[in-house]
Amino acid sequence: MFIDSHCHLDRVDLRPYSNNVGDYLEAVKADSLDHLLCVSINWEDYPAMQKLVSGYPQISLSVGVHPNEMDGYDPSSKELVEIALKDQVVAIGETGLDYFRVEKEQEVTVQQQRFRQHIEAAKKINKPIIIHTRNAQDDTIRIMQEENAGEAGGVLHCFTEDWSMAKKALDLGFYISFSGIVTFKNAKQVQEVAKKVPNDRFLIETDSPYLAPVPMRGKPNYPNYVKFVAEKLAELRGIPLAKIAELSSKNYETLFNR
């Protein structure tokens, strides 16, 4: 059984399943999708996301604001805590730093302040942090260290950086999560990291509807495609697929207290 540790189900095209989450979950039973974590990216869409997944015990959710979200409301750590406790979310995020499309220095400042607020919220309620990082290795690790993010723990999701950064995150007590990118032919750096991360510190994810894995690349991505990520990790690590499913599920349950 597989767990998709990071998806955006509220953005997935469910029209083939009558726009019904229950119909989708029933239809993909053969793919052994046991559980999935629906991850928040902004404050405005959170209520609809929470309503969408409510009533499905096989779906968990997080609350947070993605670093690239610049036009919406920016919640305080107190507001994040209030929502997290009220809706029984399992994690804070996704949060972090993404400098890939930053055009103004002010955007860097906003991202860093937001990241710190999310870490503060996670520590207050002892829930893990889901971290997005892109083109911001040094600042991501520095802020994690300065804010003692290891007190809450968490995961660097959809990991695309090098082993040096992965090692620093692991040393802080964090997990590393691999998405469909690890199946891409040119993703040699990520594949090398996937070989090295300890058995008790990796997760698998889809980040759906984005980044569909091979052999679905170029098509809409769905949480049940996490099996293709697992297959690639089994190949890279030289262990059976069933073992990847077992380890990644156990790691998820440990991190998110499932």
- Per DSSP, the residues of 110-166 read HHHHHHHHHHHHHHHHT--EEEEEES-HHHHHHHHHHTTGGGT-EEE-S--S-HHHH
How large is the average pLDDT for residues 225-242? 98
How large is the average pLDDT for residues 138-153? 98
Q: Which domains does the chain have, with CATH numbers?
A: 2-255 (3.20.20.140)
- Going by pLDDT thresholds of 50, 70 and 90, the confidence category of residue 213 is very high
d(CA 147, CA 103): 26
Task: Tell me which residue of 200, 190, 199, 198 sits closest to 165, measured CA to CA.
Answer: 190
pLDDT for position 103: 78
* pLDDT above 90 (res 129): yes
* pLDDT above 80 (res 96): yes
Phi-psi region of 73 (alpha: psi -120 to 50; beta: other; left: phi over 0): beta
Coil vs helix vs strand at 258: coil
Task: Tell me which residue of 68, 57, 159, 150 sits closest to 107, measured CA to CA.
Answer: 68
pLDDT for position 101: 85
Segment 180-183 long-range contacts (CB within 8 Å, at least 24 positions apart): 180/206, 180/207, 180/211, 180/212, 180/213, 180/214, 180/216, 180/217, 180/221, 180/225, 180/228, 180/229, 181/211, 182/213, 182/229, 182/232, 182/233, 182/236, 183/213, 183/214, 183/217, 183/228, 183/229, 183/232
* pLDDT above 90 (res 104): no
How large is the average pLDDT for residues 116-134? 98
Identify whether the C-beta of residue 49 lies closer than 8 Å to the C-beta of residue 18. no
Q: Report which secondary-structure segment, H or E, holds 33.
A: strand 33-38
* pLDDT above 80 (res 258): no
Averaged pLDDT of the chain: 97
How large is the average pLDDT for residues 5-13? 97
- The encoded tokens of residue 27 equal 């239809």
Prior bond to 215 cis, omega within 30? yes
How large is the average pLDDT for residues 3-18? 97
CA torsion sign for 148, 149, 153, 159 is negative
pLDDT for position 21: 97
How large is the average pLDDT for residues 42-60? 96
Q: What is the pTM of this model?
A: 0.97
* pLDDT above 80 (res 185): yes
pLDDT for position 61: 97
Q: How many CB atoms lie within 10 A of CB 110?
A: 16
